[in-house]
C-alpha cells in the first residue's frame, strides 16, 4: 500500500503563531535515507481559522502525487496560498544561499584594486588574532569589547571589518534553519548519551547546551540552565571582559522561564533515553560478555532513533521556538527572513558608536553575563563598516580586515588549511600570521606557511609575534635580543619546509620573514605612548600598517620561460594521490600504521553528514578536499622547481622565484576548483549513502563507501592499467596545469 501523508496544526507554548507539521513525501529523512522528512514550519499567522485553511491546502497537495515534483510548482501557485507552496517545495531543488553575496549586497567591500588593502588575520586559537583586530579598530577592551575575545575558541564565524568614513553599519547573516536544527539534534543525542551513562543533571544540561565541536553553544542563547550555580568570581568565567552594567538591555527575556524549559527538556530526554535504550536492548540482545559491543551499537543507533522519535522531535520544535523567540524580540535594526520564515540577515545603521557596538555585540559576544540574550552561536558571518581608528595612529586608514576561526592546535604539520581560508587568501592583499612569541612555532602556523609557499603566495605573508611582554630570560635582557630569539626559533622550521617543498619554498619564506616581521606585547589593553613598553608595540603596529598600506603586487617576469616534461607531472600527481589514499585509509580504519590511530566512527559520520547535506567540505580536522588539494599542490610545486630547460637565457634566482610562484598560484585556484567538484559536488549521493549506514558493521561499510565509491573514483591513483576514472582524473589535472601554464606562456612538452 502507498503511504499516506497528512499535515497537522501545531502551536507551541508561549507562542501565538501557528505552525504546520507533516512528513514530506519526497524529501528524504537523512537519518533513514528514505522519503518522509519531518517538516515543521511557521504559517505566519495567529488566526486559527486561517491556519486551518492553510493546513487543508497542504493536505490537498499531500494527497495528490502530481504536485510532488518541482515542475508542478507553477500549477500549485495558481491554486494554493503562497505560504503553503513555499513550505512544500522548499528543498526540492538544489537551492543554497551565498552568504558572502548576501552581505556584499548590503555593505559592499571597497574595490580590491583601489586605495583599500585587504588584511587577513590567521593564527592558532589564543594567539591574539582577534586582539590584534581590536587594536587596529581602536575599540576599548573594557568598555566596548568588540570583537569579543577569550582564552578559548571565540571567533567561530567569518568577520569582515571595514575602516571607512560614514555612519556605523552592520550586516549579520545566520546559519540555515536545517543546519541549526541538526546541531540541536547533535546536542540532544549527546545529552541522551549522558543520560544513558547515568550522569547528573548538570552534565546532561552541559551536553545539551554545548555542542561537542565548541562552535555551537546554546548556553549563549539560553543561559547555563537551572543546574549550575552562578560564579562568585568573574575569573571563573574564563573570559577577559568585565561585568557589563546593561546585561538585560539586549532582550526582555525571562531566564527563569527558559530555565524551566531546560529542566523539562532534560527530564524528557531522560525518559526518551530510558524507553529507547530498553527497546535497543531487546533488539540487540546482548549476551554475557557482549556488553561492550552493545554499548558501541547503542551509541551508533541512538542518534538515528532519536531523529525518528516523535517525542524527541517535539523537544527540537520547542528548542527552535525558543531560539526564534529571541529573533522576534530584537529591538534594533531590521531583520529579513526567507520564504520559510527563518532569519537570513539582520542589518543596522547608526551614527552612535556606543549604541552600535553594544547592539552588534549581541551577535558576536561571548560574555558570560550576557548568556541567555546572545545570538552569536547562530551567526555565520558579520560585516561591519565605520570610522574606526586606533588611538595611537593619526593616519587615515583604508583597510578591510578579515578575521575568522582560529587554525586550532594541529598536532602535526601534515594537516591542511581549511578551504575557506585558502579562498580568503586568494582575495587578500596581506596574510598576517599571528603567533605567540612565548613558545616555539606550533604545527598550525607551519601548515599555513607551507600552504603559502606551495601555492606561490609567500609575497602576501607577514608575521606578527604577540606576548612579547612575556618573553623573558637571563640570556635575552634587551628587546633586540628578544626579537632575535623569537625569529631564530621561527626560522628553525624553514629548513624542514625546504626539505619537503624544495629550496625555493624555503627561500621565499625567508624573504617574507626578513621584510615583514613585527613584535607586540601588552595588546590586551589600550596602549599608552607614555609607557616605554607600550610605545614599542605602537611603533611596531605603525610599521605593520605602513607595510600593509604599501604592499603592491609587482612581480616582474623574466623573458625566459621554463619548459616541463608532462611525464614528471604525472609522477607528481601519482605521488600526491598515493599519499592522500594512504592517509585516509588509516583514518577510516581500513589500514593500520604503528603510532597512528583511526578516527572515531562518530567523527567520520559527522564528516559524511556535512558533505551529504552540502553544508561544508570538512569536519574539524577531517578535511578531504583540503587534503587532496594540499598534496597535489605540494608535489606540483616540487615539480615546478625542476624544469627540463629554460626557453631563453636562464634567469637568476629572483626571476625564477617569480615565475615559479606565479605558476603555482595560477595552478592552485584551478586545482582547488577541480578537487572540490570531484570530491564534494560529484559524489553527494555517495556521501548520503555513507551517512545513512546503520546497524551492525555500519562503521566499516561507511568507511568502505568513502574510500571505494568516493575517493577511488574522485582521485584514483594513476597506474599502468588504464580505467575511465583514472584517465579522467589525470587528464583533468594535466588540463588545469596546462591552462595555468598557457596563461604565463610556459610550455609542457
Condensed to tens digits (0 to 9), the pLDDT of residues 620-647 reads 889 999 999 999 999 999 999 999 999 9
Residues 580 and 729 in one domain: yes
Residues 122 and 231 in one domain: no
The CA angle 386-392-394, to the nearest 5 degrees, is: 65
Quickly state the pLDDT bin for 233 (edges 50, 70, 90).
Answer: very low
Q: Is 342 inside any structural domain? A: no
Four-CA torsion 330, 331, 334, 336, nearest 10 degrees:
20
Residues 712 and 565 in one domain: yes
How many other β-carbons are positioned within 10 Å of the β-carbon of residue 736? 22
Contact 58, 81 (CB under 8 A): no
Total domains present in the chain: 4
Cell of 46: 495567529
pLDDT of residue 231: 43
Picking from 36, 30, 20, 35, the residue whose alpha carbon sits closest to that of residue 87 is 20
Angle, helices 653-675/419-426, rounded to nearest 10 degrees: 130
Rounded Cα distance, 399 and 391, in Å:
16
Name residues whose C-beta falls within 8 Å of residue 677's C-beta, 6 or more positions apart in sequence.
none
Of 295, 318, 335, the residue at which a domain comes to its end is: 335
Q: What is the mean pLDDT of residues 81-98?
A: 84
Burial of 254 (0-12, 13-18, 19+ CB in 10 A): exposed
Contacts 24+ apart (CB under 8 A), 247-253: 247/369, 247/370, 247/373, 248/373, 249/358, 250/331, 250/362, 250/370, 250/373, 250/374, 251/326, 251/329, 251/330, 251/331, 251/362, 251/373, 252/329, 253/326, 253/329, 253/372, 253/373
Q: Is 628 inside any structural domain? A: yes
Residue 455 has pLDDT above 90, yes or no: yes
Cell of 373: 540574550
Beta partners for residue 399, in sequence order: 117, 163
Report pTM.
0.87
Residue with cell 549579520: 172
How many other β-carbons are positioned within 10 Å of the β-carbon of residue 292? 9
Contact 141, 525 (CB under 8 A): yes
Q: Is 368 inside any structural domain? A: no
Tell me which DSSP letter residue 276 carries: H
* CATH code: domain of residue 522: 3.40.50.300
Q: What is the CA radius of gyration of the chain?
A: 28
Residue 230 has pLDDT above 80, yes or no: no
| Least confident range of 42-46, 267-271, 290-294, 489-493 | 290-294
Q: Per residue, what are the HEC states of 110-157? A: CCCCCCCEEEEEEECCCCCHHHHHHHHHCCCCCCCCCCCCCCCCCCCC
Rounded Cα distance, 676 and 628, in Å:
9
Contact 347, 194 (CB under 8 A): no
Residue 236 has pLDDT above 60, yes or no: no
Rounded Cα distance, 669 and 661, in Å:
13
Percent of the chain residues topping a pLDDT of 70: 91
SS3 of 645, please?
strand
- The highest-confidence range among 24-38, 180-194, 238-252, 476-490, by mean pLDDT, is 180-194
Q: Is 341 inside any structural domain? A: no
Quickly state the pLDDT bin for 698 (edges 50, 70, 90).
Answer: confident
Main-chain dihedrals φ then ψ at residue 319, nearest 5 degrees: -65, -45
Q: Which helix (H) or strand (E) holds 335?
A: strand 334-337
How many other β-carbons are positioned within 10 Å of the β-carbon of residue 636? 25
SS3 of 702, please?
helix
Q: Is 203 inside any structural domain? A: yes
How far CA 524 is from CA of 5, 64, 142, in Å, comes to 58, 63, 10
Domain that holds residue 46: 8-89
Residues 276 and 134 in one domain: no
SS3 of 331, please?
coil
pLDDT of residue 152: 52
Quickly state the pLDDT bin for 90 (edges 50, 70, 90).
Answer: confident
Q: Is 426 inside any structural domain? A: yes
Contact 710, 679 (CB under 8 A): yes
Q: What is the mean pLDDT of residues 722-748?
A: 89
Q: Is 288 inside any structural domain? A: yes
How would you list the strands of the sheet with 430-436, edge to edge?
Answer: 334-337, 343-350, 168-174, 379-386, 158-163, 399-403, 117-123, 430-436, 461-466, 517-519
pLDDT of residue 331: 80
SS3 of 516, please?
coil
Residues 203 and 271 in one domain: yes
Cell of 491: 626560522
Q: What is the DSSP string of 225-246?
A: -TTSPPPSSGGGGT-SSPPPS-
Residue 197 has pLDDT above 80, yes or no: yes
205-221: pLDDT as tens digits: 999 999 887 778 899 89
Residues 181 and 285 in one domain: yes
Of 57, 89, 121, the residue at which a domain comes to its end is: 89
Residues 432 and 520 in one domain: yes
Residues 588 and 609 in one domain: yes
Cell of 650: 636562464
Q: Which is more confident, 366 or 388?
A: 388
pLDDT of residue 336: 92
SS3 of 322, please?
helix
Residues 82 and 111 in one domain: no
Residue with cell 627540463: 644
SS3 of 307, please?
helix
Residue with cell 529542566: 263
Rounded Cα distance, 216 and 172, in Å:
17
Q: Which is more confident, 176 or 365?
A: 176
pLDDT of residue 67: 93
Contact 123, 344 (CB under 8 A): no
Of 59, 89, 119, the residue at which a domain comes to its end is: 89
Residues 597 and 519 in one domain: no
Quickly state the pLDDT bin for 108 (edges 50, 70, 90).
Answer: very high
Quickly state the pLDDT bin for 37 (edges 50, 70, 90).
Answer: confident
Rounded Cα distance, 610 and 620, in Å:
11
Q: Which helix (H) or strand (E) holds 485?
A: helix 479-501
SS3 of 476, please?
coil
pLDDT of residue 748: 86
Rounded Cα distance, 744 and 396, in Å:
37
SS3 of 328, please?
helix
Quickly state the pLDDT bin for 251 (edges 50, 70, 90).
Answer: low
Q: What is the DSSP string of 537-587?
A: HHHHHHHHHHHHHH-----PPPS-EEEE-HHHHHHHHHHHHHHHHHHHHHH
Cell of 184: 540541536
Cell of 595: 603510532
The CA angle 235-240-243, to the nearest 5 degrees, is: 70
377-419: pLDDT as tens digits: 999 999 999 999 998 988 889 999 999 877 865 556 568 889 9
Residue with cell 593619526: 394
pLDDT of residue 289: 52
Residues 409 and 523 in one domain: yes
Rounded Cα distance, 108 and 728, in Å:
40
Quickly state the pLDDT bin for 432 (edges 50, 70, 90).
Answer: very high
Four-CA torsion 351, 357, 361, 363, nearest 10 degrees:
30
Pairing of β 343-350 and β 334-337: antiparallel
pLDDT of residue 293: 59
Q: Is 357 inside any structural domain? A: no
Residue 241 has pLDDT above 60, yes or no: no
113-167: pLDDT as tens digits: 788 999 999 988 878 888 899 999 999 877 887 887 665 555 578 899 999 998 9
Angle, helices 419-426/624-640, rounded to nearest 10 degrees: 50
Quickly state the pLDDT bin for 247 (edges 50, 70, 90).
Answer: very low
Residues 143 and 234 in one domain: no
For all residues of the chain together, what is the average pLDDT?
A: 86
pLDDT of residue 409: 56
Amino acid at each position: 500500500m502507498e503511504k499516506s501523508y497528512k499535515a497537522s496544526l501545531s502551536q507551541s507554548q508561549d507562542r501565538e503563531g501557528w505552525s504546520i507539521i507533516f512528513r514530506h513525501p519526497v524529501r528524504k529523512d537523512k537519518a533513514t535515507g528514505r522519503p518522509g522528512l519531518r517538516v515543521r514550519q511557521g504559517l505566519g499567522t495567529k488566526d486559527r481559522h486561517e491556519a486551518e485553511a492553510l493546513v487543508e491546502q497542504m493536505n490537498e497537495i499531500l494527497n495528490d502525487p502530481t504536485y510532488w515534483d518541482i515542475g508542478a510548482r507553477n500549477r500549485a501557485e495558481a491554486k494554493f496560498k503562497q505560504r503553503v507552496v513555499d513550505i512544500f517545495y522548499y528543498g526540492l531543488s538544489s537551492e543554497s544561499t551565498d552568504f558572502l553575496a548576501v552581505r556584499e549586497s548590503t555593505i559592499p567591500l571597497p574595490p580590491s584594486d583601489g586605495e583599500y588593502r585587504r588584511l587577513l588575520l590567521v593564527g592558532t586559537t589564543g594567539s591574539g588574532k582577534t586582539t590584534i583586530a581590536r587594536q587596529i579598530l581602536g575599540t576599548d577592551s573594557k568598555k566596548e569589547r568588540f570583537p569579543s575575545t577569550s582564552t578559548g575558541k571565540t571567533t567561530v564565524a567569518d568577520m569582515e571589518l571595514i575602516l571607512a568614513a560614514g555612519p556605523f553599519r552592520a550586516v549579520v547573516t545566520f546559519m540555515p534553519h536545517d543546519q541549526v536544527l541538526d546541531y540541536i539534534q547533535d546536542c540532544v543525542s549527546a545529552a541522551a548519551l549522558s543520560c544513558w551513562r547515568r550522569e547528573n543533571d548538570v552534565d546532561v544540561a552541559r551536553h545539551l547546551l554545548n555542542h561537542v565541536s565548541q562552535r555551537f553553544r546554546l548556553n549563549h542563547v539560553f543561559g547555563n540552565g537551572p543546574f549550575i550555580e552562578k560564579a562568585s568570581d568573574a575569573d571563573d568565567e574564563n573570559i577577559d571582559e568585565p561585568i557589563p552594567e546593561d546585561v538585560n538591555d539586549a532582550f526582555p527575556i525571562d531566564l527563569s522561564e527558559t530555565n524551566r524549559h531546560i529542566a523539562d527538556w532534560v527530564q524528557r530526554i531522560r525518559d526518551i533515553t530510558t524507553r529507547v535504550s530498553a527497546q535497543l536492548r531487546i533488539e540487540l540482545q546482548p549476551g554475557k560478555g557482549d556488553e561492550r559491543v552493545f554499548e558501541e551499537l547503542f551509541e551508533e543507533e541512538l542518534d538515528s532513533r532519536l531523529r525518528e522519535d516523535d517525542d524527541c522531535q517535539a523537544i527540537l520544535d520547542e528548542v527552535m521556538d525558543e531560539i526564534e523567540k529571541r529573533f522576534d524580540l530584537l529591538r534594533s535594526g531590521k531583520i529579513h527572513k526567507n520564504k520559510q520564515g527563518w532569519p537570513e540577515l539582520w542589518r543596522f545603521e547608526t551614527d552612535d558608536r556606543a549604541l552600535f557596538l553594544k547592539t552588534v555585540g549581541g551577535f558576536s559576544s561571548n560574555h558570560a553575563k550576557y548568556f541567555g540574550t546572545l545570538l552569536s552561536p547562530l551567526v555565520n558571518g558579520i560585516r561591519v563598516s565605520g570610522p574606526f581608528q586606533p588611538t595611537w595612529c593619526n593616519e587615515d586608514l583604508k583597510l578591510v580586515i578579515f578575521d575568522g576561526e582560529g587554525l586550532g592546535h594541529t598536532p602535526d604539520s601534515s594537516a591542511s588549511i581549511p578551504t575557506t581560508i585558502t579562498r580568503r587568501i586568494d582575495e587578500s592583499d596581506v596574510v598576517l600570521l599571528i603567533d605567540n612569541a612565548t613558545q616555539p612555532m606550533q604545527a598550525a602556523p607551519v601548515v599555513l606557511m607551507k600552504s603559502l609557499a606551495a601555492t606561490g603566495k609567500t609575497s602576501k605573508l607577514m608575521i606578527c609575534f604577540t606576548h612579547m611582554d612575556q618573553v623573558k630570560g637571563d640570556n635575552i635582557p634587551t628587546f633586540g635580543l628578544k626579537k632575535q630569539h623569537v625569529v631564530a626559533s621561527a626560522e628553525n622550521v624553514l629548513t624542514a619546509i625546504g626539505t619537503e617543498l624544495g629550496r625555493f619554498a624555503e627561500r621565499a619564506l625567508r624573504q617574507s620573514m626578513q621584510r615583514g616581521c613585527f613584535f607586540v606585547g601588552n595588546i590586551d589593553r589600550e596602549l599608552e605612548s607614555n609607557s616605554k613598553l607600550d610605545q614599542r608595540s605602537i611603533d611596531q603596529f605603525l610599521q605593520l600598517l605602513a607595510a600593509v598600506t604599501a604592499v603592491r603586487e609587482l612581480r616582474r617576469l623574466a623573458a625566459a620561460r621554463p619548459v616541463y616534461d608532462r611525464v614528471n607531472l604525472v609522477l607528481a600527481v601519482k605521488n600526491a594521490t598515493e599519499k592522500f589514499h594512504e592517509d585516509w585509509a588509516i583514518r577510516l580504519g581500513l589500514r593500520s600504521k604503528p603510532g597512528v590511530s583511526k578516527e572515531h566512527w562518530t567523527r567520520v559520520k559527522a564528516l559524511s553528514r556535512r558533505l551529504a547535506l552540502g553544508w561544508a567540505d570538512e569536519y574539524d580536522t577531517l578535511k578531504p578536499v583540503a587534503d587532496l588539494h594540499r598534496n597535489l599542490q605540494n608535489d606540483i610545486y616540487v615539480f615546478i622547481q625542476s624544469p627540463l630547460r629554460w626557453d631563453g637565457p636562464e634567469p637568476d634566482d629572483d626571476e625564477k622565484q617569480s615565475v615559479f610562484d606565479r605558476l603555482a598560484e595560477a595552478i592552485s585556484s584551478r586545482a582547488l576548483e577541480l578537487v572540490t567538484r570531484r570530491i564534494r559536488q560529484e559524489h553527494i549521493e555517495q556521501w548520503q549513502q555513507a551517512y545513512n549506514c546503520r546497524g551492525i558493521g555500519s562503521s566499516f561499510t561507511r568507511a568502505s563507501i568513502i574510500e571505494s565509491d568516493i575517493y577511488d573514483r574522485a582521485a584514483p591513483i594513476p597506474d599502468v592499467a588504464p580505467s575511465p576514472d583514472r584517465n579522467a582524473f589525470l587528464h583533468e589535472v594535466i588540463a588545469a596545469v596546462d591552462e595555468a601554464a598557457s596563461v604565463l606562456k610556459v610550455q609542457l612538452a
